[in-house]
A and B are shown apart, each in its own frame.
Chain A
Amino acid sequence: MRNRLIVHATLIAYAVLALFPIALILTNSVKTREAIFDDPLALPTMESLTFIGFEKVLASTNFLLYFGNSLVVTLSALLCIVLFGAMAAWALSEYRFMGNRVLTLLLALGIMIPIRLGTVSILELMVKLDLVNTLTALVLVYTAQGLPLAVMILSEFMRQVPSELKDAARCDGVGEVRIFFQVVLPLIRPAIATVAVFTMIPAWNDLWFPLILAPSDRTKTVTLGVQQFIGQYVTDWNSVLAALSLAVIPMLILYAIFSRQLIRGLTAGAVK
């Protein structure tokens, strides 16, 4: 069918457009400087293959430390968001109490209003709490940032848990806290994938808060580290390309492994 051909052609063309910049960086990151400039579109050959950029990046920065920082921050924030968010979502969706609607509205607003606007005060608060240049500060901020959306998504999923299950447990004399942890929480596992997608990616890729709250070398995240490195070594093409590649490759690997769950999580949450 001719129509289908046009569709495929369009999609392939756009896929190329979406991928080639990244591919370009990756292929050129292992070429010598001359090869990069002489023929940027070519793949590296035996002569032009070199890892000098990578060596430089790993030698002059604590790249692995930055990577570890990003990992710690993102995973800790995810844990807090899922746990605290689920607890709050449970309370809001299951029980009637004064202030339920107000709280829900406040959280809904929190989804739309960006947390960055309050940075001035957040920084002052961190200074007061002596949390500047700590990973804890980042975890707290990203948790606060991700909670509203997480609560919304999780309460939607929780509403769909059949009441019979909860009531049956209550008839058996099971306490509310146990019902939450042992009945409801295991049933909303798919939602956790959705929440993970919507909170981990912005946290990992964020530049603003690491820049403002934790810019010390000890606490740098990958995003900040790469940004500063590149700013510093702007003319050293090998190093710049290597740094970019190092930042991108972990994401590519994770994406290749988890893409199905990720996209499923996205579309499931998006409909809600």
Chain B
Amino acid sequence: MASVSLKELRKSYDGKTDVLAGIDLDIADGEFVVLVGPSGCGKSTLLRMLCGLESISGGSMEIGGQVVNHLSPAERGIAMVFQSYALYPHMNVYQNMAFGLKVAGKDKAAIRQRIAEAAATLKIEHLLERLPRELSGGQRQRVAIGRAIVREPRLFLFDEPLSNLDAALRVQTRLEIAKLHRQLDATIVYVTHDQVEAMTLGDKIVVMHEGHIQQAGTPLDLYQQPRNLFVAGFIGSPKMNLLAGTLAEAHANGVVVRLSSGESVRAAVDGSGMRIGSKVTLGLRAEHIHESRAGSEVFSGEVGVVEHLGEANYIYVSREDGEDVVIRGDGERHVEIGQSIVFSADSTAFHVFDEGGQARRRLRPGNMVSSARSFMRSV
């Protein structure tokens, strides 16, 4: 296994517009890194550049300390699992897995052994004689992974491997990939557009947008301290509530924001250097809202739509003169549509974004008490 280092990596198709601009990223040996972002953000392009399927327009790429800009995919010690699995339709599972090894000149005995090991790990020993078209989607996916494993590469690349599976299979396979990561102690770069996948699988998540890295960090980092509006809106489900307002007071130990709907909200973020009266956006996650006056900042509104999930419900509240807010509430507590509702949040729960969409540093990000726990406490 190996580490990966990208310095000022650039990609441009026509020499004028950059599809990827100035990518700097370090991946440690054995790390599971997820590239996540909306369509067109450049994550697949970056993955293909890592693989060697796309040329590098600028910057350097190192794998295991070796500069690989001009090396072919096989020379880089890389294996890729494609979105559509790309199994060779005319070869059975065994032959599919053996192909790369044959190209590399391994002898039959070594090939047989490696395939046996990989098949055992992935539990596909009983499928070795079958053709791809005789396999289910999940089975094909495991064969595709098996094909990558047998080559014992330095780096595994996954291109949206779960997008072609149905929801239940997706969850199951997600777990298997996580287990595989630990079992093989592999360095993995994984591309997905699904932020839940990213959060559950990645050691490090890289959020990309329009060819730039917006933020790279652990799942918790991205959740607790998103660096800008894009990342804040992208990570976390449901999407973070965003409320427009202007800055009323700004101090190093907190700010006061006057919302356009009239309320004054205290937020525990570092406000040093901020200009009074500047436009700011307040962020608040649905799960940090209490369905009561328990928090320090209180709001009110009318219940519009309620979505019941069982373990929780999502209450969409419409506010007079203000944006709608979604609250994650206790699934077993009844909420009436049209009823007035009072809700609140602690000042430590808020995110503040300046005029340019950049986040201010939160003072106590990890200090969140979720509404469920507070409810338990009050019982």
Consider the complex of A and B and state whether they touch directly, i.e. have CB atoms less than 8 Å apart: no
A interface residues (Cβ-Cβ under 8 A, vs B): none
Interface residues of B (CB under 8 A from A): none
